[in-house]
Structure 1
C-alpha cells in the first residue's frame, strides 16, 4: 500500500534534525526553538517535550538512555531519556556546532564545529578528549565506522580525512580528495561519509550529485548511485542490512535505491521541503526524516510492495566492481548448510574473514584483532600497561559475521487483520462481517458490522483494554489484548445470542504471557501465546486443553468445528530461513491428523493467511498470490497441498495492464473470496472495500492468454484443468463423508460430483477422437477414468467414438463397459 506519511510540526520553521535510539524505541528531534522532542515509536500521541534555555539546535545523536545536542552557541549537552532532564555539559566549542557522531558502543562522541579541530569526547568522562587537527578547514560532518576505531571527517575544503583513534594519539590514515564538493558549514548540502554496514566500504555525495562508493582497503572508487537527483544531495542513509539506500536532494526529491544493482526502486514526489536528516528504524519498514521547515515525517511501510522483503534478508555486501564477497550475499540464491556453502571448507571462510580484517585499514597492520584473547594485539598505554588495540582498551566490534548468518524467523500474525493506517485498522475481515477499531489515544472504539443485518445487528463499544486481535463468526465475536501495566493479557468472548443473563466472558492469561494469534470455530476457541502454549477453550469459557506447541515461535492458527490447525517456526533451512511447520489436531477426540508437517512455501515466499474452507478443509494463501488447499489431511502422513488458484495468472492481469494484488477472505461455494488491492497497496483500508470472488483455476499448464488463434489447444487445456479440479473436489468430498457424520444432503452430492468428472472426460474423449485414429489409445485411457458404475457414461463414450467413425475404439469401450458391469475388472487393472 502507499507509504504512511505523517507530517508533524515538531519545531519552529528552520533546520531540523533527528536521531533514533539504537533500539528503535525513541526518536529525538531538535530545531530552532527552545524545545527538544522525544517521540515514542509506534505511539501516535504527543511527544515528550524537554524545555531548554538554548535555541538554534543544529545537531543531535542518541544512545538508548540519553542523547547529545549541539547548539549555535557551541555547547554540546547531554540529556537523559529516562528522566527527560539535562545531565551535564559534555564539551564546549567557541563556534557553532555542526555535527555530532556517536561511536557504535556510545562511549565516544565526535563533535565538529566552525572551529578547525574536531573534538572526540568520552561520553562518560568529559576529561578524556582527543583532538583531530590534520585538516586545515572547518569540518562540516563527521562519522564513525562500524568498529568505532575510524572517524571520517568531511571538511569544507572538499577533502575527506580518515583518522584512526585506536591509540591515544589519533593518526591520519588518508586524505581523500575529489570525493565531496567544497561547501560552507551552514549549507544544506550534505558531505557526510556513510559507512556501509558490512564495514568494507563507505560512500559520500559527490559534486556531480551522485553517491559514490569507496573501498576501505585501497580507497578505490567502486560503484556509484547515479541519476537520482537534479540538485545536491542533502541526506543519505543505508538500510540496517545494507540492502537499500535512500537519498534526498535539494530539488526536494526522495529516492529509494537497491544496493546490489544501484537501480532506483521508487522516487517519491510528495516531498514539500528540503530534507536535512534521515534515519531508518533499526528493525521495521519505517523511514523518518526532518526538513528545513521544522517538520518531522514518519513514513511507515516506506519500502513499497514486493521490495519490502529486501529489508528482511541478511546483511548485504557493499556494491563493489568485482566483489569477492558476492557469494555471501543474501540475494545469491545458493543453498547453505550450517552457514557453509556445499563444498566450502573452514579455510574458505577464514579467507573471507581475512578480507574483512584487511579492509579495516590502509595496510591492515594497525587493525589486528585479538580473537582468541592471547594478548598479541595489545599495545602499551601511557602508563606502560598493555591494553587491547582500541580506545583505552575498548574492544573494537566486528558484528559482520554474526549478522550474515542470523536466521530469519517468520513473525506471528492474526489472519484477517491489518496494521494501523492513521488511527484505524481492521481486526477481522471475513464472510460473516468485519471488525475495526479506532485509536482515541486514551482508549479504542471497536465497531462490529455484519453483511447479513437481518440475522445479526451491528454493535459498537468503547474499548479501554485496547484490543489488538479479533475473530468473528455466526455464533459470536472474540477479542484479545496484550498485557499492560494495568492488566494482563485478556481473552474476551461475546456471543451474538444467549438465553441466560450472562452475555459474555473474559479470562486473563498468566503474567507476561500474551496472545500471538487466535481463532474461533462453532465449538471452541484457540489461542497461541508468547509462552509457546496452545490454549483451547469452550465457547462458554471452560479451559479444555493446554499444551506446548512443538514448533516455536508460533505464527498463526485456524479452527473449524473441533479441528485446530497451528503453524509455527521449525528448523532452519539451507537458505538461513526457518521452515514453517503445521499441525492439525481434533481437540474433542484428542487425535492428531497431521503433526509437524512442513508448509511448502517457495524461497522468498511467506505465509499471508491460514483458514478453513466452508467445507472444513485447511487453506493457505502466500505472498506469491497462490491459494492452496490441503488434500487427505485427515489421514496421518498423506496430506498434500494442492494449488487451487494462482492469482498472477488471472485473465484480468494479462498484458500487464493492471497492477493489483488480493487480500484473502475465505474459500466458500467453490470460489476464492478476496478484496482487490489496487496499485502497490498491501492491505485494505477505509472506506470498507467490496468483496470479490474468483473461480478456482488449478495451474495445470501454461497460461493460454496468448493462444486465442489456437482455439483447439486452448479448449483442451481448459478441459484438462476442469478434470483435475473436478477430481480434487470429488476426493475432498469423499474424505469429508468418510470422516464425519455426513448429512443426507452431503451424501446425495456424491453422484453429482461424479457426473461432473465424467462430463469433462466425455468432452476430452471427443477432443481426442477429433484428432484422429492415432489418439485412440489416449481416448481409451480417458474412458477407463470414468467413475460411473451404471455403464451410462461408457455407453455415451461409445456413441462419441461411433460418431467420429472410430470403430475399433468403440468396440474396446463397449468391452470395457460389459466387463465393468459384471465386475470382472477394476479401473486399475485396465
Structure 2
C-alpha cells in the first residue's frame, strides 16, 4: 500500500507543534494564532477549536483528559479536552516558554523557558512548584523518562542536566557534556532528549548531525544513527515499541531508521518545510508532524509494508554496545521496561521437563564443563573465574599460564586537569584562570580565560597539535602535546606580555619521549617525561637542567619560583603498590632540599593534586579528601607532612544530607580554594564551576556534633581553642622557616612576631578556660603558660593577672617564678 500523505493547514504560517493523547484518539496542535485545534484520529471532519486569549504558542503536551500549552508571553495554561475550554493558568514565566513535558501520570508539568530556571508544577495544585536552578543559561527542552522519576533538561550551554524528581526536592544526578550542540532557544534545530521506550537509554542530536544513544546506567555513549541528514536535526521520535526511529532535519528531510542495526530504511523526499515536531500514533502505523509553516501532516502507512514487522514487534531493547540484535518476528523475546527478559511459555515447558533449577536466569548454568577447561566456573568476587570463597578448584587438564607479578604503580597525572567528558575537558584550573579544549575531530580549539580580565585578556586558538596538558599563571601559558605520526612531543610557551615581536616559543622532545607532567612558575618551566628525565627550561626556552629522576616512573611535578618538586614511584609496600616519593630542589642554586622522601599517604589512598601555596610551601591533596602542607622542607631530612584540613569533617557534611566532594585548586590567604562537586561527580565540568574556599582546620579531635555544641558549649570552645593553637603554631613555623632560609621582605619578617602574639593569645584564652574550671586544673594551666613564646615577659605577666582574677594564687606565684627564670635565662626552650 502506498503511503498516503495528508497535509492540513492548522495554523497561521509559522512554528507549529503537536501532541497525541496517550490513547491516540486525539491530536492537538498549537501555533501562532490564538486558537488550539483538536483533531479526532481517523476522522476527516474539521477539528474542534479551543479559543484562547493568548497567541504565539510554543509548546504543547497532552493527557487523555487535558492539555498544557505554553506561549511566548510566558503563560502556561491547562485546557480540558472534555469541555474544550480553559481550566486554569498553571504558572507564569517572565520570558517566553520554549518546551513543556508532562510526567507519564500527568501529575507534573516541567516548563522550560528563556529564564535560567526550570519550573515543575503540579497539574492539580498549581501551588506545588519545584525549581531547577543548576543551569547557567536558558533551557531549550525538557523530557521525562518512562517512569517519570528522571527529567532531562537540554540547556543552551550544550549540556544535558539529569535530575531525579522522585523526591520532594529534585536532585541533580548528572551533567552530560559534549553531546548536544549549543543552540539558541528559538533555533529550529533541536537538542531534545528522547527516552527509549525500554527505559535503559536515551538519545539526543549531536553537533555532527548524528542521533546518539547514551546508557542511563553509566552515562556512556552507545550506538549512533549517522549519515541521515545534511543539516542539524530538528525533531526525532522513537516508535512506541522502540524498534524504529524517525528523525527530521533543518535541510527539510525526514528519515526512518531501524533501531537494532541503526540502518537507514527510507528517506522521504517530499518534505517542503522544516519539520519541528514528530509524534507516532500509539497503536497504528501513522506518523504525524508539524512544520514551520503552520501545517500538520498525517502520514498513514508511514512504515513501508516490507518493514511493518518492526512496528508490530514487541517492545525492543535500546541500541547498546555489546548486546545481541533483538528479534522482530513473532518469536521475538519479550522485554520488560528494565530490559530483563520476561518468561515465555517455552521457558515454562523447559522447566517442566528439566526442573526449575536446571537453567539459571542468565543462561550460564546449563554449560557443562566436560573437558575441565574451567570456562564454566563461577566468577569469584573479583569478577574472575577460578577460586570461590578462597577455595581453589581442581586444576584443569590444560596447564594454566601464570603472569609475572608486577607492583601496582601510581599513574602519572597533570594537576588541575580533568579527563575528557564528551568532546570537552579542562587542561588547567587555578586561581589565575582556566584553560579548556574542545575536540573538533581533525583538530582542537583551546580557550584561555582569566578571572582578572582587567589585567589579562582572554584568548583562544585553533590547535592542530591537540595539546593535552597546560599550565597557567600571571606570566604566561604553557602547553604540551603527545607525539603522533606527524610530529614528536612538543612543549609550547606563550607569555602574556613582551616587549619584543617574538612572543612565544616551542621545543620538540626526542623521538619516543612523551611529557607525563609539567609545571610553570614565575622563573622556570619543568617537565617530567616518559624517558625518566626531568627537563627544566627558562621562561624563554633556555634549557637549564636535564637529569634522570631517581624514582620512576614519574607521577607529577610542581614549581614555585626556583623550587621544583617532583613525585615518582618508589619502593613497593606490603600491599603490592608502590610508595610515592618526592624530591625538592632549587634549580637556580643547584641545591637539594629533600631527596626521595616518602610521600605521606595512607594505605589505599591516591595522590590527587600537588601544588605550592601562595607563600611557597608544598601541598598535597589525596583521594581521602585530606589537605597536607610540608613543614621544615628547606632543611634536609627534617620535612614532615601536616594535615591542615580533612574535608570529611567539614560542618556542611556532618548532617549527612549532602553528598559532595572537593576538587583542589589552590592554597592561598590561609584558606583552601576548591570546586565543590555534587551528585557523585569526580571532576568539574561545564559550565565553568564557581570557586569555594574553606578555612584550615587541623584534625586535633573529633569535630563536635550539633548536640554537643548545644549541651556542652564550654567543652566545644575548649577544643576549638586547642585546634586554633596548633594551627597558629604551624603558621608561625612556616613563616619562620621562610624568613630564616630566604631573602625575606620586611613584611615577611614582621609577620614572625605577629604570629608569635597570635599563638600566645590563644594560649592565654586556654589558660583562662582552665582557671575557670578550678584549682585542680592548675598544672595544665602552668603548662600552657610555659608554652608561651614571648620573651619580653608581657604575656606571662598577663597570664599571672588572669590567674589572680580567678583567685588562683598558687598558680599565679608559679607563673611569676617562670617569668623571672625566663628573664634571667634559667629556662631554655628544651626545658619548657
TM-score range, shorter chain: 0.5 to 0.7
Q: How has the CA–CA distance of structure 1 residues 190 and 759 changed in structure 2, closer, same or farther, with 3 Å as cutoff?
A: same
Q: Which residue of 735, 755, 762 maps to 2:737?
A: 735
Contact kept, 8 Å, 1:159 with 1:178, in 2: the verdict is no
Equivalent residue for 1:666?
A: 666
Kept after mapping to 1: 8 A contact 2:494/2:503 = yes
Specify whether residues 573 and 31 from structure 1 end up closer, same or farther in structure 2 by C-alpha distance, changes over 3 A only. same
Q: Does 1:550 align with 2:550?
A: yes
Q: 1:156 to 1:548 in 2, by over 3 A?
A: farther
1:627–1:643 Cα contact (<8 Å) kept: yes
Q: Aligned to 2:407, what secondary structure does the other structure show? A: coil
Deviation at 1:725, TM superposition (A): 0.4
For residue 762 of structure 1, the aligned residue among 756, 764, 770 is 764
- What is the SS of the residue equivalent to 1:718? helix
For residues 406-460 of structure 1, the C-alpha deviation after alignment (integer angstroms, 9 at most, x for no partner) is 4322111110011111211111000111111111111111111111111111111
In the alignment, what sits opposite 1:508? Answer: 508
Give the match's secondary structure for 1:526. strand
> How far, CA to CA, are the matches of 2:428 and 2:783 in structure 1?
48
Using the TM superposition, give the Cα deviation of residue 402 of structure 1 relative to its aligned residue in structure 2, in angstroms. Answer: 3.6
The structure with the larger Rg is 2
Instruction: Tell me how far apart the structure 1 counterparts of residues 496 and 599 of structure 2 sit (CA, whole Å).
Output: 35
After TM superposition, give the deviation of residue 192 of structure 1 in Å. Answer: 5.1
Post-superposition offset of 1:201: 12
* Equivalent in 719, 724, 727 of residue 717 of structure 1: 719
| Cross-structure match for 2:251 | none
Which is bigger in relative contact order (C-alpha 8 A, separation at least 6)? 1
Give the structure 2 partner of residue 793 of structure 1: 795
Give the Cα–Cα distance (whole angstroms) in 2 for the partners of residues 630 and 780 of structure 1: 31
In structure 2, the residue matched to 1:478 is: 478
Superimposed CA distance per residue, residues 20-42 of structure 1 (whole angstroms, 9 cap, x where no aligned partner) = xxxxxxx99899999xxxxxxxx
What is the aligned partner in structure 1 of residue 520 from structure 2? 520
Do residues 802 (structure 1) and 804 (structure 2) align?
yes
What is the distance in 2 between the residues matched to 1:822 and 1:553?
Answer: 56
Question: Secondary structure in 1 aligned to 2:417?
Answer: coil
SS in 1 for 2:655: helix
- The question of whether the paired residues in 2 share the 8 Å contact of 1:532 and 1:548 is answered with yes
The DSSP-based 3-state class of the residue aligned with 2:643 is strand
1:644-664 deviation line (CA, Å, top 9, x unaligned): 000010001111011111110
Deviation at 1:318, TM superposition (A): 6.4
Tell me what 1:105 maps to.
none
Count of residues paired in the alignment = 519
Aligned to 1:288: none
What residue is the counterpart of 1:408 in the other structure?
408
Check conservation: 2:569, 2:580, Cα contact below 8 A: yes
Indicate the SS of the match to 1:456: coil
Match of 1:784 among 766, 782, 786: 786
- The residue correspondences of 1:156-175 to structure 2 (distance < 5 A) are none
Q: In 1, Cα distance between the equivalents of 2:385 and 2:438?
A: 43
Deviation, 1:571, is 2.1
Aligned mates of 1:554, 1:564 — CA distance in 2? 14
Look up the match of 1:650. 650
Tell me if structure 2 keeps the 8 A contact 1:180–1:191. Answer: no
| Residue 805 (structure 1) shift | 0.6
Partner of 2:746: 744
Partner-residue secondary structure (3-state), 1:759: helix
Unaligned runs of 5+ in 2: 1-172, 180-202, 216-220, 229-257, 263-323, 334-344
Question: In structure 1, what is the equivalent of residue 397 of structure 2?
Answer: 368
TM-superposed deviation, 1:554 = 1.0
Q: Distance in 2 between matches of 1:30 and 1:445?
A: 24
Matched-pair contact (CA < 8 Å) for 2:698–2:723: yes
Q: Conserved in 2, the CA contact under 8 Å of 1:536 and 1:543? A: yes
For the structure 1 residues 803 and 445, does the alpha-carbon distance in structure 2 shift closer, same or farther, using more than 3 Å as the test?
A: same
How high is the TM-score relative to the length of structure 1?
A: 0.57
Question: How far is 1:178 from its partner?
Answer: 3.7
Cα 1:500/1:719, change in 2 over 3 Å:
same
- Alignment CA distance shift 1:195-1:561 (3 Å): farther
Q: Deviations over 1:359-390 (max 9, x none)?
A: xxxxxxxx3345xxxxxxxxxxxxxxxxxxxx
Conservation of the 8 A alpha-carbon contact between 1:530 and 1:553:
yes
1:310-321 aligned at under 5 Å gives the runs: 315=382
Determine the structure 1 residue equivalent to 2:246.
Answer: none
Change (3 A) 1:755 1:443: same
Give the 3 Å change call, closer, same or farther, for CA 193–587 of structure 1 in structure 2.
Answer: farther
Aligned twin of 1:440: 440
What's the CA shift for 1:772?
1.0
CA 33–538 in structure 1, closer or farther in 2 if over 3 Å, else same: closer
CA distance in 1, matches of 2:532, 2:367: 39
Deviation at 1:794, TM superposition (A): 0.4
**How big is each residue's C-alpha offset from its partner over 1:464-500, in whole Å with a ceiling of 9 and x where there is no partner?**
1111110001101000111111111110001111111
Indicate conservation of the 8 Å contact 1:159/1:179, yes or no: no
> Deviations 1:624-668 (Å, cap 9, x if unpaired)?
110000111111111111000000100011110111111100000
- Equivalent runs, 1:134-149 vs 2, <5 Å: none
Does residue 1:621 correspond to 2:793, yes or no? no
Map 1:807-826 onto structure 2 (within 5 A).
807-826=809-828
Shift in alpha-carbon separation, 1:156–1:516, aligned structure 2, 3 A: farther
2:222, 2:672 → 1: CA distance? 46
Residue 723 and residue 112 in structure 1: after superposition, are their counterparts in 2 closer, same or farther (change >3 A)?
closer
TM-score with structure 2 setting the length: 0.57
> Segments of 4+ in structure 1 off by > 4 A?
3-10, 27-34, 55-59, 111-114, 155-160, 179-182, 192-196, 199-203, 315-320
Question: CA offset at residue 356 of structure 1?
Answer: 3.7
Deviations 1:592-612 (A, max 9, x none): 111111112112211110000
The 1:158/1:467 distance shift into structure 2, 3 A limit, reads farther
SS at match of 2:480: strand
1:257-656 equivalences under 5 Å are 260=381, 315=382, 323-325=388-390, 355-358=392-395, 367-369=396-398, 398=400, 402=403, 405-656=405-656
Contact (CA 8 Å) 1:195, 1:202: kept in 2 or not?
Answer: no
> Alignment partner of 2:800: what SS?
helix
Q: Is the 8 A contact 2:260 2:326 kept in 1?
A: no
Cα distance, 1:202 vs. partner? 9.3
Deviation for aligned residue 1:2: 3.8
Native 8 Å contact 1:31 1:58 kept in 2: no
CA deviations over 1:673-711 (Å, ceiling 9, x no partner): 001111101111111111111000000001112411111
- Tell me how far apart the structure 2 counterparts of residues 643 and 449 of structure 1 sit (CA, whole Å): 32
**C-alpha distance in 1 between matches for 2:523 and 2:599:** 26
1:2–1:195 Cα change, 3 Å: farther
Q: Post-superposition shift, 1:792?
A: 0.6
Q: Work out the CA distance in 2 between the residues paired with 1:502 and 1:33.
A: 45
Q: CA RMSD in A?
A: 4.0
Please list every run of 5 or more consecutive structure 1 residues that lacks an aligned counterpart in the other structure.
19-26, 35-54, 60-110, 115-137, 141-154, 161-174, 183-188, 204-213, 217-241, 243-258, 261-314, 326-351, 359-366, 371-397
* Residues 3 and 402 of structure 1: CA distance in aligned 2, closer, same or farther (over 3 Å): farther
Q: Which residue of 1 is the match for residue 363 of structure 2? A: 191
In structure 2, relative to structure 1, the CA distance for the partners of 1:201 and 1:748 (3 Å cut) is farther
Q: 1:726 aligns with which of 717, 725, 728?
A: 728
**Cα offset, 1:200, TM superposition:** 11
Once the two structures are superposed, what CA deviation does each residue of 1:775-824 show, in whole Å capped at 9, x if it has no partner?
11111111011011111100000000000111011011111111212222
2:198 — aligned with what?
none
Equivalent residues of 1:786, 1:793 under 8 A apart: yes
Maintained 8 Å contact 2:413/2:516: yes
Query: 1:56/1:616 Cα in 2 relative to 1: closer, same or farther (>3 Å)?
Result: closer
Give me the whole-angstrom Cα distance separating, in 2, the residues matched to 1:468 and 1:195: 47
Q: 1:677 matched to which residue of 2?
A: 677
Task: Give a deviation string over 1:531-575, Cα, whole Å, max 9, x none.
Answer: 111110000100011111111111111000111111111222111
